């Protein structure tokens, strides 16, 4: 976390926003329609997060492996992200949301890089929620970059370079894998999976995931005081 940044809540939730394309195809619509619907879900979730005790929210917007998709889909995603930055900046400032992009920027369209920079500068004073958007992001590459930048790597210095540990990791769309997302930060994250596609995910689903998280016993390697119930990890 930046040394000059104070947040009101400490729960860090990460979300792999999966299922946009499948949601659209199931409705006979192009995959790009699913991504646009997913952007509306981002707005709903960001608005709901602080009231649920989430102080840091990291969303997987575009994986470094997503460059393998068709040029049309990639172009649409990049345009949508730039549009989101322009549309949501004023709302973020009003709601005390600090927006930051993590991941590579050198491969992004110059227009998107400029939109990200403007949003980051305008929202730098937000203290209600730290919203981190993972764009052209790879967890493995992030760890490599952090290690290479440190003269004497340690757990503490790598964590400082990468960002705060994740408490709750949510993946929508029915898949159960991390897909190269926040690998170091998720060392002791509680995992919650939802079969709901991301465009259908809403504030109630986020609240359900937080309830599931708060009902679990986090031991960080210590032995439990008594037998604990098995947890399937499914939200619905």
Overall residue count recorded for the chain in this entry: 236
Catalytic hit among 4, 20, 65, 66: 66
Q: Reply yes or no on whether 18 is catalytic.
A: yes
Residue matched to tokens 């005390």: 96
Q: Retrieve residue 7's tokens.
A: 């947040």
- Separation CA 178–CA 165 (nearest Å): 15
Q: Known catalytic residue: 95?
A: no
Q: Which residues are catalytic?
A: 18, 66
């Amino acid at each position: 976390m930046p040394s000059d940044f104070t947040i009101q809540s400490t729960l860090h939730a990460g979300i792999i926003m999966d299922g946009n394309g499948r949601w659209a195809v199931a409705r006979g619509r192009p995959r790009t329609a699913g991504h646009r619907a997913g952007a509306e879900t981002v707005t709903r979730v960001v608005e709901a997060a602080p009231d649920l005790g989430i102080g840091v929210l990291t969303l997987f917007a575009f994986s470094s492996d997503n460059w393998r998709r068709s040029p049309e889909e990639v172009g649409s995603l990049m345009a949508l992200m730039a549009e989101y930055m322009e549309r949501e900046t004023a709302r973020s400032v009003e709601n005390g949301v600090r927006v930051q992009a993590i991941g590579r920027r050198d491969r992004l369209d110059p227009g998107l890089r400029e939109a990200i920079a403007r949003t980051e500068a305008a929202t730098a004073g937000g203290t209600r929620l730290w919203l981190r958007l993972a764009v052209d992001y790879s967890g493995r590459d992030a760890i490599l970059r952090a290690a290479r930048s440190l003269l004497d790597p340690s757990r503490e210095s790598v964590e400082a370079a990468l960002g705060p540990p994740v408490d709750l990791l949510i993946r929508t769309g029915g898949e159960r894998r991390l897909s190269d997302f926040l690998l170091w930060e998720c060392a002791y994250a509680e995992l919650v999976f939802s079969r709901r596609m991301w465009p259908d995910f809403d504030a109630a689903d986020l609240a359900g995931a937080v309830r599931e998280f708060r009902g679990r016993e986090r031991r960080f390697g210590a032995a439990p005081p008594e037998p604990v119930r098995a947890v399937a990890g499914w939200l619905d």
